[in-house]
Amino acid sequence: MDLQIAKTKKVCPRAEIAAYLDGELSPSDELILEQHFAICKTCLDELNLQKKLLSALDFAFESKSEIELPENFTKVVVAKAESRVSGLRSKKERIWALSICAGVLFLTMLGIALESDQILYSLSDFGKQFLALAGFINHLIFDITIGLAVILRFLSQQIVFSSGFATLLFLCVIALGFLSFSRLVLKFSRS
């Protein structure tokens, strides 16, 4: 018996019954569904039940006249709504609401992560690639700094042994340039 019900649920187009009653099906689909009604008692019963429900709803809406609302109905509803949510305006209520939202977000993310291992692997791969890029940039800055230090050391040795005052002035200019470059590199690496 359960097997027959399971087969009926798979084969029967129950979702199309409402569309049939609303006239949303194409003529060929209507014909197919009407042929199905001829052989399936379950779907025919469902069709009759939905027809009765629609008739009852039509009768209920036709028999009653329109409900008249008082003139100040909107003002009363707004005043009652504002008075009942006054607790949300306090700082403690906002903190509680934010905590609950954060907890729900955490549980949702945890559920998604537990449901799909690929998300965790994707995040792990992204983290590894991000760390590899950060390591590359760190080594690049370090190598550039070391290279500039070697070049400046070589140039300073050449200048120091050749003249006195010009050498000191040149070293000051080189040091200021190196400091400004290192600040630029630090600013770039922080951003």
Using one digit for the tens of pLDDT, what is the confidence trace for 151-173? Answer: 878 877 766 666 666 667 777 88
| Mean pLDDT taken over the chain | 78
The structure tokens listed for 66 are 């329109």
Q: What is the pLDDT of residue 84?
A: 64
Predicted confidence (pLDDT) per residue in 99-150, tens digit: 999 999 988 887 776 766 666 677 778 889 999 999 999 999 999 989 888 8
> What is the share, in percent, of the chain residues with pLDDT greater than 70?
76
- For residue 67, the model assigns a pLDDT of 66
pLDDT at 100: 93
CA 7 from centre of chain = 38
Range in 5-9, 155-159, 178-182 the model is least confident about: 5-9
Task: Give the mean pLDDT of 80-84.
Answer: 71
Burial class for 153, CB neighbours closer than 10 Å (0-12, 13-18, 19+): exposed
Q: Which residues contact 94 (CB under 8 A, 6 or more apart)?
A: 88
- The residue ranking higher by pLDDT, 18 or 164, is 18
The structure tokens listed for 104 are 């729900």
Q: How many Å apart are CA 137 and CA 186, to the nearest integer? A: 11
**Mean local confidence (pLDDT), 72-90:** 72
Cβ partners under 8 Å of residue 97, min gap 6 = 88
Residues in the chain: 191
Q: Is 23 left (phi over 0), alpha (psi -120 to 50) or beta?
A: left
Whole-number pLDDT of residue 1: 42
pTM above 0.75, yes or no: no
Output the pLDDT for position 3.
44
175-183 mean pLDDT: 83
Percent of the chain residues topping a pLDDT of 90 = 12
Give the C-alpha separation, 134 to 191, whole Å. 12
